[in-house]
């Protein structure tokens, strides 16, 4: 309730800030990746995908989620169009809708890069 | 040392049945209430009739004795026992309030590196044959002292306060412990008024990150400081909410299914909500 009002007024409680900061720092602790390396990962991932399809770089979402045993990486990459070179022979797929406007496609990629830190001895 | 020899013999003759459970109380971060938890949980378990020994593994920074009010009775300590200078029985200090409870104090003028991990493990196993519960007060940090404190334990209790630093450290410690110790969580020093105003992480917030079985919640109350001043654990105080919370934790450790939230978060009135929207830092 109070969070709702705070969102309405564009303000976040310090406990909500604490929770969000913790979520992010533990993520980077568990991945053993510094926050700026996560940025690098995102950039390089997009570069690879861009070799095959044209992606909407502005609207890419890359999130990590703590699942029961593993951390899951969830990427939401809007695809603007296929590069002609990557289309299969004779395929008629086009990034454009029948009315000629660009039609973003959404693809979801999943990966589970690391499990929880192994117990040290 | 007599008991350790018994243990060595036991290794060759596997007929000895283990009686008690060794539980290490740890947190990573210092000052979150490990020692207070050990003193109160031990007191509450003893009040329930269990035979309990408290082992202060914080070598060099001995404190469990003073929190229990036993500082004047300590003659020998953990390292004397590990180095076979005295027997376990000579080093155990009987509690003031309960004949069921005793303490093995830490050495004050030695270092954590002086503890032999294997001997520590054997000592805890020996104690677990004689007591229902062996509670080990772990030092802060994740170095040698932590490793020695954890060595002989069967289970772990992690103590956290609703602060980002404490949560991060508990997360790290739980990662180091792995699955073997089935760590359970105590959230200490919760201030319900602050939680209600969104100025403090709630128990749910903390555990949405840590995801551990919740053993108990203890509200911050001045009584904790007063009890430490006097050397009389709050678990003995029938009027204290924190004391009741420790008794409930003891019941859960003993396997009872005690529900009931121990720290109620006061509902915020509409005026307080509006007030907090328009003024003040959150």
Q: What is the pLDDT along chain B (282 residues), one digit of tens a residue?
A: 444 444 444 444 444 566 899 999 999 999 999 999 999 999 999 999 999 999 999 999 999 999 999 999 999 999 999 999 999 999 999 999 999 999 999 999 999 999 999 999 999 999 999 999 999 999 999 999 999 999 999 999 999 999 999 999 999 999 999 888 999 999 999 999 999 999 999 999 999 999 999 999 999 999 999 999 999 999 999 999 999 999 999 999 999 988 755 677 777 766 555 555 555 555
* A3 is a domain residue: no
A120 → chain B, closest CA residue: B176
Q: Which two tokens stand for residue B39?
A: 């003193």
pLDDT for the residue numbered A58: 87
Q: Do B93 and B74 form a contact (C-beta atoms < 8 A)?
A: yes
pLDDT attached to residue A115: 44
Q: Which residue has the higher pLDDT, B189 or A116?
A: B189
Tokens 């045993």 -> residue: A69
The string of pLDDT tens digits covering residues A83-113 is 766 665 544 444 444 444 444 555 555 544 4
- Kindly determine whether residue A15 and residue B200, on different chains, have CB atoms separated by under 8 Å: yes
Residues in chain A with CB shorter than 8 Å from the CB of B180 are 119
Average pLDDT over residues A74-86: 81
- Specify which residues B31 forms β-bridges with: none
Q: Are A21 and B164 in contact (CB < 8 Å)?
A: yes
Q: Which of B142, B164, B212 to mutate to test the interface with A (most CBs of A within 10 A)?
A: B164
pLDDT at A81: 85
Residue-level pLDDT at A95: 46
> Which pLDDT does position B187 carry in this prediction?
97
The alpha-carbon gap from B155 to the nearest alpha carbon of chain A, in Å, equals 15
Whether residue A93 lies inside any domain: the answer is yes
Task: Tell me the domains of chain B and their CATH numbers.
Answer: 2-13+21-278 (3.40.50.300)
**Residue at A52 is within a domain:** yes
pLDDT at position B262: 64
Residue A12 domain flag = no
Q: Which residue of A has its CA nearest to B148?
A: A121
Q: What is the extent of the structural domain holding A65?
A: 33-115
Distance from CA of B177 to the nearest CA of A (A): 6
Alpha helices by DSSP H, listed for chain B, are 2-12, 34-47, 64-67, 78-82, 88-91, 117-130, 144-151, 164-177, 192-196, 203-210, 222-230, 241-253, 270-278
**B229 vs B56: CA distance, rounded Å:** 19
Residue A42 lies in a domain: yes
Are the beta carbons of B205 and A3 separated by less than 8 Å?
A: no
Backbone angles phi, psi at A32, to 5 degrees: 55, 40
* Residues of chain B with C-beta less than 8 angstroms from the C-beta of A116: 175
Q: How far is CA B127 from the centre of its chain?
A: 17
Residue B18 has a pLDDT of 65
State residue A119's pLDDT score. 45
Q: Would A48 be classed as within a structural domain?
A: yes
Complex ipTM value: 0.76
- Asked if B282 lies within 8 A of A66 by C-beta distance, the reply is no
**Would A37 be classed as within a structural domain?**
yes
The residue among A1, A2, A21 with the most chain B CBs within 10 A of its CB, best to mutate, is: A2
| Number of independent structural domains in chain A | 1
Residues from chain B that touch A22, judged by Cβ atoms under 8 A, are 164, 167-168, 201, 209
Q: Which two tokens stand for residue B243?
A: 């004391």
Could you tell me how far CA B8 lies from the centroid of its own chain? 28
d(C-alpha A63, C-alpha A60), whole Å:
10
Other beta carbons less than 10 A from residue A93's beta carbon: 10
């Amino acid at each position: 309730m109070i969070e709702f009002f705070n969102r309405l007024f564009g303000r976040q409680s310090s406990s909500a800030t604490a929770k969000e900061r913790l979520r992010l720092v533990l993520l980077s602790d568990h991945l053993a990746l510094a926050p700026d390396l996560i940025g690098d990962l995102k950039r390089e991932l997009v570069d690879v995908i861009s070799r095959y399809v044209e992606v909407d770089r502005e609207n890419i979402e890359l999130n990590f989620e703590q699942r029961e045993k593993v951390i899951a990486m969830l990427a939401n990459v809007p695809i603007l169009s296929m590069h002609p070179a990557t289309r299969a022979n004779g395929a008629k797929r086009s990034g454009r809708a029948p009315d000629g406007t660009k039609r973003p496609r959404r693809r979801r990629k999943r990966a589970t890069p690391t499990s929880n830190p192994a117990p040290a001895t | 040392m007599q008991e350790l020899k018994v243990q060595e013999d036991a290794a060759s003759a596997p007929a000895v049945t283990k009686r008690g459970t060794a539980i290490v109380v740890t947190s990573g971060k210092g000052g979150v209430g490990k020692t207070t938890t050990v003193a109160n949980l031990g007191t509450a378990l003893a009040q329930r009739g269990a035979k309990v020994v408290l082992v202060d593994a914080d070598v060099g920074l001995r404190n469990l004795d003073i929190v229990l009010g036993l500082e004047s009775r300590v003659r020998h300590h953990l390292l004397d026992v590990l180095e076979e200078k005295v027997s376990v029985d000579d080093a155990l200090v009987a509690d003031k309030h309960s004949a069921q409870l005793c303490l093995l104090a830490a050495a004050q003028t030695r270092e954590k590196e002086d503890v032999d991990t294997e001997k520590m493990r054997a000592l805890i196993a020996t104690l677990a044959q004689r007591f229902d519960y062996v509670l080990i007060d772990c030092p802060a940090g994740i170095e040698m002292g932590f490793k020695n404190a954890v060595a002989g334990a069967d289970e772990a209790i992690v103590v956290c306060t609703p602060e980002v630093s404490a949560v991060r450290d508990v997360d790290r410690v739980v990662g180091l412990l792995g699955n073997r110790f089935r760590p359970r969580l105590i959230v200490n020093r919760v201030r319900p008024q602050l939680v209600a105003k969104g100025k403090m992480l709630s128990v749910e917030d903390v555990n949405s990150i840590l995801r551990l079985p919740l053993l108990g919640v203890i509200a911050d109350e001045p009584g904790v400081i007063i009890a430490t001043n006097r050397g009389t654990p709050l678990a003995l105080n029938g009027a204290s909410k924190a004391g009741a919370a420790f008794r409930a934790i003891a019941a859960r450790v003993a396997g009872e299914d005690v529900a009931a939230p121990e720290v109620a978060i006061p509902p915020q009135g509409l005026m307080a909500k509006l007030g907090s929207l328009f003024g003040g830092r959150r």
